[in-house]
């Protein structure tokens, strides 16, 4: 049965990419999380979608120009005023540590398409080893060179290239780079493409699937998972 992954946590209702959004997704029954990582000036992996902190926090500037200590002082719940409590930008380590207390799956998206973030792949994979999370983590990126590199570092960790537009025969492409899955934008995932990929043994997890008719389509086809902002709605539709 298709699993439900909470995109940036339960981001429909809580500040995206925060521990609050991850914990609420788990409480709601999501099977997995999707989150984004960037690297600070002093080489720490932090969970935030944009290269800049401006959209989601009360700070300004590039993540790469903050030290970890500095970036932790920002409030990532700033744009969702109904949260009274401050929510710091999590470290990836904090998320993996919390995952030792539950069974949730984590899709880590390496946000290394704008800045190359030297050493990011090694740092992510080292942490996965430290927390023994090989079987519960999927590494994805729009930077497919990075996906290939992750596969070279550790072939036992599942990788998934992300793509937002039509990719010709993605199952052949995935097999050629050692990826066990693909994460297409939902608009780039027509039924024939999804069915053929599954038939060739490639798992498909489309993003970001929020509309009922799209969720129903992917549940009916039997995708491995849908990545959605609203895991509660997706689970309701799936379990009808």
Residue 75, contacted partner among Ca ion, ligand G3P, none, CB below 5-8 A by kind: none
Which residue's CB is nearer to ligand G3P, number 7 or number 123? 7
For residue 36, state whether it binds Ca ion (rule: CB under 5 A). Answer: yes
Spatial separation of the C-alpha atoms in residues 1 and 3, rounded to whole Å: 6
Q: Give the list of residues 6+ apart from residue 91 with CB closer than 8 angstroms, or none.
A: 44, 45, 46, 47, 68
Spatial separation of the C-alpha atoms in residues 82 and 159, rounded to whole Å: 36
Among 136, 183, 186, 217, binds ligand G3P (CB under 6 A): 183
Among 4, 16, 22, 36, binds ligand G3P (CB under 6 A): 36
Tell me the closest approach of the beta carbon of residue 105 to ligand G3P, in angstroms.
Answer: 13
Among 92, 128, 162, 174, binds ligand G3P (CB under 6 A): 162
Residues carrying an active site annotation: 7, 49
Q: In the chain, what's the furthest Cα-to-Cα distance?
A: 49
Site for ligand G3P in 59-78 (CB under 6 A): none
Among 49, 52, 136, 217, binds ligand G3P (CB under 6 A): 49
Scanning the structure block, which residue is given the tokens 């934008």?
185
For residue 229, state whether it binds Ca ion (rule: CB under 5 A). Answer: no
Q: How many residues does the chain have?
A: 240
Which residue's CB is nearer to ligand G3P, number 34 or number 121? 34
Residue 162, contacted partner among ligand G3P, Ca ion, none, CB below 5-8 A by kind: ligand G3P
CA distances for 152 relative to 107, 110, 201, angstroms:
18, 16, 20
Spatial separation of the C-alpha atoms in residues 33 and 212, rounded to whole Å: 20
């Amino acid at each position: 049965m298709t699993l439900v992954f909470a995109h940036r946590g339960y981001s429909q209702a809580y500040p995206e990419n925060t521990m609050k959004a991850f914990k609420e997704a788990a409480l709601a029954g999501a099977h997995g999380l999707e989150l984004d990582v960037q690297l600070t000036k002093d080489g720490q992996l932090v969970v935030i979608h944009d290269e800049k902190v401006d959209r989601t926090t009360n700070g300004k500037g590039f993540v790469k120009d903050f030290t970890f200590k500095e970036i932790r002082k920002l409030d990532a719940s700033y744009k969702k005023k109904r949260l009274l409590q401050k929510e710091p930008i999590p470290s990836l380590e904090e998320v993996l540590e919390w995952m030792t207390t539950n069974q949730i799956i984590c899709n880590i998206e390496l946000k290394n398409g704008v800045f190359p973030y030297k050493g990011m792949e090694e740092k992510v994979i080292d942490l996965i080893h430290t927390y023994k999370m090989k079987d519960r983590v999927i590494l994805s990126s729009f930077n497919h060179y990075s996906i290939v590199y992750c596969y070279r570092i550790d072939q036992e960790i599942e990788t998934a290239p992300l793509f937002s537009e039509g990719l010709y025969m993605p199952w052949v492409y995935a097999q050629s780079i050692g990826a066990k899955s693909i994460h297409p934008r939902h608009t780039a995932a027509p039924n024939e493409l999804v069915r053929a990929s599954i038939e060739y043994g490639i798992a498909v997890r489309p993003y970001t699937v929020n509309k009922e008719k799209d969720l129903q389509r992917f549940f009916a086809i039997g995708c491995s998972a849908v990545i959605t902002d609203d895991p509660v709605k997706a689970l309701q539709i799936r379990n009808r």
